[in-house]
Amino acid sequence: MQPSSFLKTVHLFMPLHASLIQLLKELEPADWDQPTLAKDWRVKDIVAHLLDTTIRGIAVLRDKHFGDNGPSQHDYLSLVQYINQLNANFIETAKRFSPALLIEFLELTGPVHAKLLSDLDPFEKAVFSVAWAGENESYNWFHVAREYTEKYHHQLQIREAVGKTEALMTAEFYAPFMQTFFLGLPYLLKNHPAPNEAVVALEVAGSNGAICYLQHKNGQWQILQDWGLNNLYARTVLPADIAWKLFTKGISPKVILPMVTLEGNQALATQMLNLIAVVA
C-alpha cells in the first residue's frame, strides 16, 4: 500500500472505546444473551471477542509476545481457520466471566491498546499484514485502520442486537470505517479486467456514507482520489445500513440485491458486492 493512501483512524479509538463502555453499562441482563449478526455469537460473546483481540494486541505490541507461531500453512484459508480457532478458544473460556468483569477488563485494557497503536510510526512495516486486501506486508497505518474496523463493526453488531445503532452511524465513525474497507477493492477486482482507463465506483449512499472510484490502468486496478458520476464503466450503490453488514459477512449479496443499484458492466458491478473486509 502506497503512502498516498494514508488513512488516519488512530484518533477514533478512544471515542469508540468510550461509546462501547457506556453502551455495555446500559445493557440489561437479558441483552447479553441477544443473538447477533455474528452467526453463533451472542452479545456477550462479541464483548469477550473484543477483550480477546485487545489483550492480544497489547501482548504483541508492548510485550512482543505472540503466543505461538501461527498457522502451519501460509495460505489464506489456513489463516482464516487459525484465527477462527483462536477466537473460539477465548470465547469458550470467557463463558466463566461475568458481564461486569468483561466491562472492567475492557475499561482497563482499551486505553492501553489505543495508546500503543497511536505510538506506532504510520509508515513503518506492520507486525501483521492486512490479508483481506491481498497484502503480504502492510504499513502500520493500514494495520491500525484494520484494527479500527474490527472494533467498530463488532460494537455495531452489539448495537444492532439491542437496537442502539445511532451512536455509531455517523460520518465521524462510519466514513473512515468504510474507506478502510474500500482499500480491499483492487485485490477483489484483480481478476476482473476492463478496458484500459475504465473507471468504476462503489457508493455507500447516505449522509454518513462514502464513495470509492477505481481505474483499470495497465492491467491493474488503482484507487482514484476523485472522479465523478459521469462516464463510469460500472457503478454499485447500496445503503449504509446494509453495506457494513454485507462487507463483514453479516448478510449475503443475494439477500440485499433488491436494495442495490447495479449500473453499467453487470459483472463488475456485481463483483463489488463480494467485498469481504474481515478474516472470517
> How does pLDDT run across 90-148, given as a tens digit for each residue?
999 999 999 999 999 999 999 999 999 999 999 999 999 999 999 999 999 999 999 99
Beta bridge partners of 236: 202, 262
Cell numbers for 200 = 468504476
Check if the beta carbon of residue 156 is closer than 8 Å to that of residue 37: no
Q: Is 222 helix (H, G, I), strand (E, B) or coil?
A: strand
How far is residue 20's CA from residue 110's CA, in Å, rounded to a whole number? Answer: 10
* pLDDT for position 161: 98
How far is residue 279's CA from residue 271's CA, in Å, rounded to a whole number? Answer: 18
How far is residue 280's CA from residue 274's CA, in Å, rounded to a whole number? Answer: 13
Q: What is the DSSP letter of 35?
A: B
Check if the beta carbon of residue 157 is closer than 8 Å to that of residue 36: yes
* Cα 4 from chain centre: 20
* pLDDT for position 1: 46
Domains in the chain, CATH or no CATH each: 3-168 (1.20.120.450), 185-274 (3.30.1050.10)
* pLDDT for position 9: 98
* pLDDT for position 79: 85
Low-confidence ranges of the chain (pLDDT < 70): 1-5, 72
How far is residue 180's CA from residue 55's CA, in Å, rounded to a whole number? Answer: 23
How far is residue 276's CA from residue 243's CA, in Å, rounded to a whole number? Answer: 11
How far is residue 57's CA from residue 64's CA, in Å, rounded to a whole number? Answer: 10
How far is residue 177's CA from residue 126's CA, in Å, rounded to a whole number? Answer: 19
**Geometric angle at alpha carbon 192, from 190 and 194, rounded to 5°:** 110
Check if the beta carbon of residue 234 is closer than 8 Å to that of residue 227: no
